[in-house]
A = this chain, B = another copy of it.
Amino acid sequence: MTEYKYDVTMSCGGCSGAVTKALNKLEGVDKFDVSLEKQRVVVESSTLNQDEILAAIKKTGKAAKVATD
């Protein structure tokens, strides 16, 4: 299991809800947390890689990048 962190621009509950919905639907996600307050999305997966998860988040139309901290 690997943990991946992303900075995602989310302005309201509708934004974070959209990301939550996308991750709920994404096959291979074991656990995740979407924080509107921290503008941070943390995803745990054994089968998906960093870029695959990033692509799924970006499909929501949100600006997203791999977190460096």
Contact = CB atoms under 8 A, between A and B. Distances in A.
Contacts of A17: 61
Q: Interface size for chain A: under 10, 10 to 19, 20 to 34, or 35 or more residues?
A: 10 to 19
Copies of this protein chain in the complex = 2
A61 B10 contact: no
Contacts of A10: 14
Contact of A15 (B18, B20, B22): B18
A20 B61 CA distance: 8
Nearest to A17: B61
A13 interface: yes
A63 to B, nearest CB: 9
Interface of A: 9-15, 17-22, 59-62
